[in-house]
């Protein structure tokens, strides 16, 4: 048995719960954001994000060749971030603080996080990309696996550009076991509340300019 089969089972369960047609798990959401931004071809584009967010978001925009513009929220919510938001100028969404039933938004690349104690699905490390784009899904599958297809690299005839971002099968097995907690005893899906967390104002840091 291929040890990565458990990852496929986990991805299928995420699709079932979130309503996304396709899911690709990754070693962390930051790398998922990078892959999604690369596929969305943001090189040379300005991408707008909240100024209060996790620092990997502007980092991955820059790493993918874009530039960062910060949006300042109203004073009533200043300093906090809640739920999911779109990286404006792209189809990419940061969904680190949202993981709930039927959450998928069509024609997007929603990046989820399973890292950290505040997450609903806390696996210690990990994330995923949700999409309804089959071509994007196939690109993500190869790109996150060092440019390999799901076969022995001795059998692969042509290699592709890629990164070592795949999810460890042991983490995927833990995720698969934990998916049961998102269902009621009668089999219906549970609706999970958006998470709200404080973040620093990244617009004040020169690293992202």
The domain locations on the chain are 5-208
Q: CATH: 3.30.70.1450, 3.40.640.10, 3.40.50.1980, 3.30.300.90. Which one for 5-208?
A: 3.40.640.10
Mean pLDDT along residues 69-92: 90
pLDDT in tens, 8-31: 999 999 999 999 999 999 999 999
- In contact, 125 and 171? CB cutoff 8 Å: yes
Q: pLDDT, tens digit, for every residue of 92-129?
A: 999 999 999 999 999 999 999 999 999 999 999 999 99
Whether the Cβ atoms of residue 113 and residue 16 lie closer than 8 Å to each other: no
Q: Cα(first)–Cα(last) distance of the chain, in Å? A: 48
Give the residue from 86, 42, 34 showing the smallest Cα distance to 67: 42
Q: Which of 175, 180, 182, 179 is nearest to 7 (CA)?
A: 175
- Nearest CA-CA partner of 52 in 209, 196, 207, 206: 196
pTM above 0.75, yes or no: yes
Return the pLDDT at 34. Answer: 98
Beta strands (DSSP E) in the chain are 22-26, 46-50, 67-71, 80-86, 92-97, 109-113, 127-131, 196-198
* pLDDT top residue among 126 and 158: 126
Q: Mean pLDDT across the chain, nearest whole number?
A: 94
Q: At what angle do helices 56-63 and 29-39 cross, to 10 degrees?
A: 30
Distances (CA, A) of 207 to 1, 72, 192: 46, 18, 35
- Rounded Cα distance between 143 and 154, Å, is 18
The yes-or-no verdict on residue 163 having pLDDT over 90 is yes
């Amino acid at each position: 048995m291929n040890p990565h089969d458990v990852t496929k089972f986990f991805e299928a369960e995420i699709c079932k719960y979130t309503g996304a047609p396709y899911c690709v798990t990754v070693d962390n959401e930051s790398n998922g954001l990078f892959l999604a931004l690369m596929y969305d071809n943001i090189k040379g584009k300005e991408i707008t994000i909240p100024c209060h967010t996790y620092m990997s978001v502007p980092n991955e925009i820059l790493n993918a060749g874009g530039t960062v513009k910060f949006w300042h929220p109203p004073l009533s919510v200043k300093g906090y971030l809640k739920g999911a938001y779109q990286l404006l100028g792209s189809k990419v969404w940061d969904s680190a603080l949202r993981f709930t039933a039927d959450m998928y938004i069509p024609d997007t690349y929603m990046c989820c996080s399973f890292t950290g104690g505040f997450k609903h699905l806390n696996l210690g490390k990990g994330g995923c990309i949700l999409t309804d784009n089959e071509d994007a899904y196939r690109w993500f599958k190869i790109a996150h696996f060092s440019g390999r297809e799901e076969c022995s690299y001795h059998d692969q005839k042509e290699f592709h550009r890629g990164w070592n971002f795949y999810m460890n099968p042991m983490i995927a097995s833990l995720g698969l076991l934990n998916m049961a907690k998102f269902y009621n005893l009668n089999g219906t899906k549970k609706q999970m509340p958006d998470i709200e967390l404080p973040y620093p104002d990244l617009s004040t840091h020169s690293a992202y300019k």
